[in-house]
Amino acid sequence: MGKRFAIIVGTRPEIIKMAPVIRECERRKVDYRLVHSGQHYDHAMDRAIFEQFQLPDPHVNLRVGSGRHGEVTARILERFEAYILQEDIRAVLVHGDTNTTLAGALAAAKLNLPIGHVEAGLRSFDRTMPEEVNRVLADHVATHLFAPTPAAVDNLRAEGIENGVYLTGQTAADAIEFLRPGLAEHPILNELHLKPGAYVYLTLHRQENTDHRERMDLLIQGIERVGKELGFTIVCALHPRTRGRLIEYGWLDRFYGIPGIRVVYPPVDVFASLALQSQAAVVLTDSGGLQEEACMLGVPCVTLRENTERPETLAIGSNRLAGYHPDTIVEAVSMMARAPRGWTHPYGDGRASIRILDIFLAE
């Protein structure tokens, strides 16, 4: 591809997982534009990711901000389409399952441009999740589908998508390999006075969890019991959405008062998060990305959901679904803390970004 293309990102997980692709673009000196939608707009947290991965600044920030799903998607679609036309963009790369993913793919599709979808084919089979809707729609308009695992390829085939599908591995593996050399020396454990293997690393941010009061109550009960009954310190990187809901429900003091909990707010950056995961007894999360990261770091994971778009982690024994009930949460953490860690992760060899650009630029 000799024409200019755009990479659009809008959330911190997208930036992290596209960082290896962006770095490879820079190494090859290709003609591309890096577009930040502004869907996540914490400048300090974004800046930390760009610095840690040594990325160039985005060429443009669309500054769409927050809002309802339709509002955000529409603003990105409108502003990104205008940028595509202004900059004579001839192809677009999107990642994952966010509103930025969907809007970026739709803008390109409406203009009949080639679309590469990085992390194609993931499925939770739960259409109540906004992320599931986004990823399915993006897959069905993409021309190049970069699947991270054979299971993702199978999911696409089951939906009648076979042309333009490429098994590349997961770019998150590339990102972890880039940061891995510094994890052991990271100061975060000393700063939080933590002992390796003596704590559970907790993140909680999914809309289907945080926006349901009864479910959040059950989850907090489960977290309390993990500390009390299993004796673990709980290290929580508190997400702004979750903090907002705790304030709305009148539970912020309750959450901060969980015995043994250490709340980090604002949440730690990606480098510190990986360092905390790497030394945890268990990662306790509702994040899809952390299920993968824990698996690649060799740390057991318990997922606070009833389904996952990362079934490979369940198959190899690195992850267990706990749902929302306190009993199943305590049971899952107890089991995974004692589980063997000898799995081989299924996400590739850390060269996914090279394969993706080899394919996308050859068209």
Comparing CA positions, the residue from 272, 265, 269 lying closest to residue 246 is 265
Residues paired with 120 in a beta bridge: none
Q: Is 3 left (phi over 0), alpha (psi -120 to 50) or beta?
A: beta
- Pairing status of strand 144-147 against strand 233-237: unpaired
Pair 267, 237: CB distance under 8 Å: yes
Give the separation between CA 225 and CA 165, rounded to whole angstroms: 45
178 to 54, 300, 351: CA distances (angstroms): 11, 22, 11
Q: Would residue 345 show up in a list of annotated catalytic residues for this protein? A: no
Give the separation between CA 46 and CA 58, rounded to whole angstroms: 11
Catalytic residue among 40, 95, 205, 345, which?
205
Exposed, middle or buried, 334 (CB in 10 Å: 0-12/13-18/19+)? middle
Torsion of CA 341, 342, 345, 351, to 10 degrees: 110
Give the separation between CA 296 and CA 348, rounded to whole angstroms: 10
Comparing CA positions, the residue from 172, 116, 150 lying closest to residue 350 is 172
- Annotated catalytic sites, by residue? 205
